[in-house]
Structure 1
């Protein structure tokens, strides 16, 4: 496996100065968020998947109003009348399956809050050395939060996560960490072990290492 220093040199040779291209730590950490903001961000990522992100961003005030500020208790009890109202609301994107994911993720977050005091505390304090375990939790207990949807949601909420984008996966292959896709639990554990090693080696965050990996391979 390549060292992070070697990967960084490859990225530097391709793009020059990297500092301006690396993600900055968000001012608010995931553990400091309120649970309604977690539901809001997860919903934004779900609706953005396979869609124009700009359209979703421009409509977001309509989403906030339609889903009651993403109050998890209110949305967990979404009923047929609520669904019909959402499906006729031109202020949001009227995708039935994605609308229902708001209810299902509200239930998921409500369950975490009941079990652990708040969803934010539980998710935000998940050890970054087992980030793939958090990916698995979102996939198993959340709705439409598998893959990069949940990963981007965590990143935007202030959790130090890597993103298994096509470029990062290609770089992980180039670095000798994996051979092929990064979808199975076994392979993702190899990815996590590599990130843990690189974090210890470099002192950089997982997010910064992830971006450096992406910059080390052709676009």
Structure 2
């Protein structure tokens, strides 16, 4: 249940869906590869758009992209891609749809090299969430040296739509970095969650 009178980060108040996402997911560490791929796919589609636009279409994306099964997505045929480009429920951007397939293929290559994508991506923060201390939204950065490094490495590996801003948003979404402002109720709840890396 979403309690409207809670103090939250200012960006999430426009809808119950946005507040639920803020309260339940944003900033919470994610180590499951399927969920990490879901956020990677959604963040790449979000590039140039608002996150609420993607959240509103999240269930459509889930249905269109086989529950974010990267093993299936990696083998999508041209017919499947054309079907996606006709799906009004998602973002029908040709380059982004094709990048979802390419990124799934490269995601699997990283799994093969590191054992899991989680092991690879969390190594950038030494497997420990970064807790920033922004007092206001203006103090929340759009990029960081770490998101720069992740972006550079993913691009080198053939990933598309993974600029530093996209990857910083991915870090926030998957709890690699906690940017809840200091008076947000969620900020003080995260340290007690005892979410640990499988490593």
Q: Report which of the two structures shows the higher radius of gyration computed on alpha carbons.
A: 1
C-alpha RMSD of matched pairs (Å): 2.8
Equivalent pairs counted in the alignment come to 143
1:149 to 166, 169, 177: 166
- The answer to whether 1:123 aligns with 2:121 is yes
- Measured against aligned partners, the alpha-carbon deviations of 1:62-111 in whole angstroms (never above 9, x if no partner) come to 10011011111111111101101101112212111111111111112101
CA distance in 2, matches of 1:111, 1:65: 24
Task: Report the equivalent of 2:150.
Answer: 134
The 5-angstrom pairing of residues 155-174 of structure 1 reads: 155-160=172-177
CA distance in 2, matches of 1:97, 1:41: 18
CA distance in 1, matches of 2:119, 2:62: 23
TM-score normalised according to structure 1 size: 0.57
Q: Secondary structure at the match of 1:125?
A: helix
CA distance in 1, matches of 2:81, 2:90: 12
TM-score normalised according to structure 2 size: 0.62
1:82 to 80, 102, 114: 80
Name whichever of 46-55 and 76-85 sits farther off: 46-55
Paired residues of 1:46 and 1:98 also in contact (CA < 8 A): yes
Unaligned stretches of 5+ residues in structure 1:
1-18, 161-204, 210-219
Which structure shows the bigger proportion of residues in helix conformation?
1
Paired residues of 2:9 and 2:180 also in contact (CA < 8 A): no
- Measured against aligned partners, the alpha-carbon deviations of 1:118-151 in whole angstroms (never above 9, x if no partner) come to 1012211334597243232123222110120112
